[in-house]
Amino acid sequence: MGSNMARNLIEKGRELVVYDVNEKATEQAVNSKKAIRVNSPKEVAEQCDGPVFTMLPNNQIVLDVYSDPQKGLIAGAKKGNYLVDCSTVSPETSKTLHERSTAAGVNFHDAPVAGAEPAAITGTLTFMVGGEKSSVKNIEPFLNDMGKKIFNTGAIGTGSVAKICNNMLLAICMLGTSEAILMGERLGVDPKMLTEIINVSSGRNWSSEIYNPVPGIVSTAPSARNYSGGFLVKYLTKDLGLAQGTAHAGQTSTPLGSTAHQLYQIMNRSGYSDKDFSIIYKFIKGEKP
Amino acid sequence: MGSNMARNLIEKGRELVVYDVNEKATEQAVNSKKAIRVNSPKEVAEQCDGPVFTMLPNNQIVLDVYSDPQKGLIAGAKKGNYLVDCSTVSPETSKTLHERSTAAGVNFHDAPVAGAEPAAITGTLTFMVGGEKSSVKNIEPFLNDMGKKIFNTGAIGTGSVAKICNNMLLAICMLGTSEAILMGERLGVDPKMLTEIINVSSGRNWSSEIYNPVPGIVSTAPSARNYSGGFLVKYLTKDLGLAQGTAHAGQTSTPLGSTAHQLYQIMNRSGYSDKDFSIIYKFIKGEKP
Amino acid sequence: MGSNMARNLIEKGRELVVYDVNEKATEQAVNSKKAIRVNSPKEVAEQCDGPVFTMLPNNQIVLDVYSDPQKGLIAGAKKGNYLVDCSTVSPETSKTLHERSTAAGVNFHDAPVAGAEPAAITGTLTFMVGGEKSSVKNIEPFLNDMGKKIFNTGAIGTGSVAKICNNMLLAICMLGTSEAILMGERLGVDPKMLTEIINVSSGRNWSSEIYNPVPGIVSTAPSARNYSGGFLVKYLTKDLGLAQGTAHAGQTSTPLGSTAHQLYQIMNRSGYSDKDFSIIYKFIKGEKP
Amino acid sequence: MGSNMARNLIEKGRELVVYDVNEKATEQAVNSKKAIRVNSPKEVAEQCDGPVFTMLPNNQIVLDVYSDPQKGLIAGAKKGNYLVDCSTVSPETSKTLHERSTAAGVNFHDAPVAGAEPAAITGTLTFMVGGEKSSVKNIEPFLNDMGKKIFNTGAIGTGSVAKICNNMLLAICMLGTSEAILMGERLGVDPKMLTEIINVSSGRNWSSEIYNPVPGIVSTAPSARNYSGGFLVKYLTKDLGLAQGTAHAGQTSTPLGSTAHQLYQIMNRSGYSDKDFSIIYKFIKGEKP
């Protein structure tokens, strides 16, 4: 994700300071001569006058990258500059980062993205940004370089809330689509035709149309390449855990979201963790990963 | 549904013989001078050379309308004619009707529809038709008068299977959408903006786009008129029961479909039965019907 | 089950006519000189003046054994005699058997058992008997030879209903116990101590006390012998299917019963089918069968 | 709970210092002349040489009672004394209290109880105590005055873990028992007889035996008095929330525990919150609280 976002910024004429624990991830940017690589998040922040963007795998890593006293972003950020986290994390994490940034005289926004890798590549991400409108304004030109749509969702943390809501619904639709097609398939309806029917009917959804879990129906979907790549079970399992924390924070009953979470947790420990999440179709079918 | 389908047939130049227990339902057709009303299903079948279509509320009523020895369709049907059931019933019911029809020298097809009332009105229904291709051919001209798309799904009963698969997925997507939006709403994200985000993201589905359960987001959805009209909780509860029977017939695990069924069953007994099924948003919110 | 029931009848002084597709199952009875083996269910019924008991694996087999025109029980039964089915079947199956028996001038009762193999061995089964009290009286002496408690549950079929209710609850308690102990174990509580705590607390149940799913806690439980023997996943999965049919017949919402069913269905197709049902502890833990 | 625990300590010859926001709760103790009432938790701690016990409703209140700088227990506790929390809270809360106590030179143990009010009254509580064995030894004489069984469950926080495991299982067994009995009842089996059957079968559990949810079966259960008193829906809902947090901390899949949680959350917002938790029988039946 991050390297694609960097490329889009560069293509729009920006000059970058970059860092990644995996050096290869920064190679393309550095080779373009429009980015310099430094040795820590702190150095990124020290050398940037414009906003600093982060795209990281989970709560703990995000907290470390921002708050490490020796190497963290906040330690290096210039007063009044902007730190913008595009990771999918809990709203509490976003609020914590905001508090710590504010205490250091730095602005912070949670700005997770929709659209996944394809949208990152084409620079058509959707950003859900938490925080004051007047402050968001200042980072919008940069977001527009990487995306096509910006939603200012409300207070700090609401960007993360919105992202988590979408991903929970994604898991539900994927599992529901898998159940429905498998049910028909077992009683003699061709999965491809059943998909066509669903896609012109009231059951249609992104998973049935774009990311169908049954191999051979959508040629670009991970199911067509043995569920490799895509959005891995381990990451969706993490997001569903965030969703349950978020539901609990608002005392919201999520019967399907929690059932999906329980099943993905079992899958995640049963050998499916590094496969695309649409493999849940195989799991309920009783097939090995 | 039935009266709209009749109107479309008449508008395409057909002449009809009609019957409904509720006399008002046949009024429009009769007034058009292109339909005559008779006094039983049997009489309909006796007076028709072309196919007879039925659209009825549940398994038992369909079985009665076809098989009643005094007043039923099969008793009156001409040898070689076609009986076509557009109701949403169990695949077993479709197979039973087929056996009984065949025994009487009459053809039978299950041909449930997608698109609901709006598509019935505009003559743009989708038909899922079970049975031999060569036989389906003979009723296609009539189906085309009422719809825009015909899927020949396979053996007798597979039309019903396909319909039930779609409706189970519909219930899952509706409940999932309700959970996701309520979860965001409770933590400060505006439901309308959250819907917009979902609708450009991977959680998008027919329920979020066309039939949103939160009042004030989609002006034509039942949620905008206090959940009146639409697809009633009692009918979806019935369909989810059919889905569980269908899942069981193929020994298919449907974790979300069954959870949705259990919740709709509680709702159906708690005062929500005559409201549109999108009212599940209010149910999980703890609001009275 | 059946051979143990036969042995208890013989030990109480009864003389038997026996049949089983597996000849070995009748060996012990035949060797005792108190039972003669015949070649079909029909011959059993033809040669018995007293009640005929059946203990069989599923609906279809029971229907065949009773109704086969050439070899079935009903074809051979003497007018006024009693046919008693101790299998776990659907209430509808029990009602069908009753109708067919009655039509042939024969009495029928559903009389499934609680207590499983240990109670069959020791002759301490519990019988749940559907049908008229005055009729049940006539088979009670025989039931008392095999069991210690008889419940006359109401109309024909209610014996089956009661059995299915218990088995659904059993599955729920077993899965619940597995979840609770695993949850504690993962956070550092010894499963054996946690079991002791539960067993003196409000969570205690038959599965936690007698049939604990965690190896090493109850030495006589199948979990102590790698989940071999006991009550196999495939049979409980079947019973949970019966339970969902029964719930649907009464339009009863069973959120936990249906969730347990969905999980056992996945297990049943994923290599666990011939293991004791307490292996669900390993399934949710992500361990192979 | 607290006043009964105090009474038992007094009956065993202890002299107490007591505090409760509700003055009436301390009346009995004060009237016995063996307890003096003070004006804050801090004053309790200041005046006690022996261990201080707390029994409070939720995480936040416990944190406040211990940590308030002006009125909290830790601020008043003598170095080396013992603070013992008997509330049902999250393991994280227990660990936080332990850290803060340790920092102030004070010992801390989590020691939640099983047995509920009846056991508190008769002094037969079960304690689940987290923390070092050598330290637990020092509070055992006091625990023995109020209970009959002490489990030292492991590290700090494991007492809370064990309690939460039991309560999750309790909710599952109660809902499962309600489903099973309602299912039988709807098909003609008397709930009282069905309960008797379950209680001699493999479905038996504390809820079916001692705390049956169907009115008229167990005369001492809350169901016999319109679900008043007992263990309120709002408190079990809270505990089920703690359970989900605990499950997530260990990445444990709890399909039934989470489903029970979702349903109790709906009930808690639908007018059932101040009724005994066994009222879930009425909720799934579709009856108003």
Q: How far is CA B237 from CA B171, C191, C248, D60, in A?
A: 9, 41, 11, 41
pLDDT of residue C115: 85
pLDDT at B151 over 90: yes
pLDDT band per the 50, 70, 90 thresholds, residue D117? confident
Residue window 98-137, chain B: list those with CB within 8 Å of chain A: 114-116, 126, 128
To the nearest whole angstrom, how far is the Cα of A288 from the nearest Cα of chain C?
Answer: 8
Q: Give residue B218's identity as a one-letter amino acid code.
A: V
Mean pLDDT across D202-208: 97
The per-residue b/e assignment along D37-76, b for 16 or more CB within 10 angstroms, e otherwise, is: bbebbbbbbeebebbbbbbbebbeebbebbbeeebbbbbb
CA end-to-end distance (rounded Å), chain B: 26
Nearest CA in chain A to B283: A253
- Concerning whether A24 is annotated as a catalytic residue, the answer is no
Mean pLDDT across C234-248: 97
Q: Mean pLDDT of all residues in chain C?
A: 96
CA end-to-end distance (rounded Å), chain A: 26
pLDDT of residue B232: 96
pLDDT band per the 50, 70, 90 thresholds, residue A61? very high
- Nearest one of C22, C78, C71, C68 to C42, comparing CA atoms: C71
Q: What percent of chain C has pLDDT over 90?
A: 97
> What ranges in C72-214 are assigned the alpha helix state H?
73-76, 91-103, 116-122, 133-136, 140-146, 158-186, 191-199, 206-209
| DSSP bridge partners of D109 | D84
pLDDT tens per residue, range C118-156: 889 999 999 999 999 999 999 999 999 999 999 999 999
To the nearest whole angstrom, how far is the Cα of A282 from the nearest Cα of chain D?
Answer: 19
| DSSP bridge partners of D150 | D127
Say if C283 is an interface residue toward chain D (CB within 8 Å).
no
The token pair that represents B127 in the structure block:
């038909």
The token pair that represents B55 in the structure block:
């659209």
Active-site hit among B95, B149, B163, B275: B163
Across the A/B interface, how many CB contacts are shorter than 8 Å? 258
Nearest Cβ partner for C270 among A259, A269, A286: A286
| DSSP bridge partners of A150 | A127
- C-alpha dihedral sign at B77, B79, B84, B87: positive
Mean pLDDT across D259-281: 98
pLDDT tens per residue, range A170-228: 999 999 999 999 999 999 999 999 999 999 999 999 999 999 999 999 999 999 999 99
CB neighbourhood size of D23 (10 A): 10
The token pair that represents B162 in the structure block:
């396909």
Q: How far is CA D113 from CA A45, D125, D129, in A?
A: 51, 6, 9
Identify all chain A residues contacting D251, using CB atoms and an 8 Å cutoff.
241, 265, 268-269
| HSE value, Cβ hemisphere, 13 Å, CA-based, for A130 | 30
Report whether C89 contacts C58 (CB < 8 A): yes
pLDDT of residue D116: 80
Distance CA C43, CA B126 (A): 56
Q: Which residue has the tokens 């006043």?
A: D3
To the nearest whole angstrom, how far is the Cα of C256 from the nearest Cα of chain A?
Answer: 11
pLDDT of residue B115: 85
Report whether B140 contacts B150 (CB < 8 A): yes
Interface test with A, best of B93, B151, B201 (most A CBs within 10 A): B201
Q: Mean pLDDT of all residues in chain A?
A: 96
Q: Which residues contact C287 (CB under 8 A, 6 or more apart)?
A: none
Nearest CA in chain C to B244: C244
pLDDT tens per residue, range D46-79: 999 999 999 999 999 999 999 999 999 999 999 9
pLDDT at D244 over 90: yes
pLDDT band per the 50, 70, 90 thresholds, residue A115? confident
Nearest Cβ partner for A176 among B157, B169, B183: B169
pLDDT of residue B118: 83
Nearest Cβ partner for B266 among D259, D269, D286: D286
Q: Are strands C147-154 and C125-130 parallel, antiparallel or unpaired?
A: parallel
Residue window 203-262, chain B: list those with CB within 8 Å of chain D: 259
To the nearest whole angstrom, how far is the Cα of D244 from the nearest Cα of chain C?
Answer: 10
Identify all chain D residues contacting A262, using CB atoms and an 8 Å cutoff.
253-255, 258
Helix (H, G, I), strand (E, B) or coil at A129: strand
Mean pLDDT across D209-237: 96
pLDDT at B117 over 90: no
Nearest Cβ partner for C286 among A270, A285, A286: A270
pLDDT tens per residue, range A92-114: 999 999 999 999 999 999 999 99
- Contact A260/B256, CB-based, under 8 Å? yes
Nearest Cβ partner for A158 among B187, B211, B250: B187
Interface test with C, best of B238, B253, B256 (most C CBs within 10 A): B253
pLDDT at C117 over 90: no
Nearest CA in chain D to A239: D248
Helix (H, G, I), strand (E, B) or coil at C2: helix
The token pair that represents A203 in the structure block:
């059951």
Distance CA C1, CA C13 (A): 19
> What ranges in C187-232 are assigned the alpha helix state H?
191-199, 206-209
Whether the predicted model's global pTM rises above the 0.90 cut: yes
Mean pLDDT across A68-92: 97
Question: DSSP class of residue D69?
Answer: T
Nearest Cβ partner for A173 among B91, B167, B203: B203
Residue A110 backbone dihedrals phi, psi, to 5 degrees: -85, 130
pLDDT band per the 50, 70, 90 thresholds, residue D118? confident
pLDDT tens per residue, range D86-99: 999 999 999 999 99
Identify all chain B residues contacting C254, using CB atoms and an 8 Å cutoff.
262
Q: Are strands D113-114 and D125-130 parallel, antiparallel or unpaired?
A: antiparallel
Identify all chain D residues contacting B268, using CB atoms and an 8 Å cutoff.
286
Q: Which residues contact D219 (CB under 8 A, 6 or more apart)?
A: none
Report whether C275 contacts C215 (CB < 8 A): no
pLDDT of residue D44: 98
> Which residue numbers of C are catalytic?
163
pLDDT at D115 over 90: no
pLDDT at C166 over 90: yes
Q: Which residue has the tokens 């969730």?
A: C259
To the nearest whole angstrom, how far is the Cα of A284 from the nearest Cα of chain C?
Answer: 6
The token pair that represents D71 in the structure block:
């009125």
Largest Cα separation within chain B, whole Å, is 65
Chains that touch D (3 or more CB pairs under 8 A): A, B, C
To the nearest whole angstrom, how far is the Cα of A44 from the nearest Cα of chain C?
Answer: 39
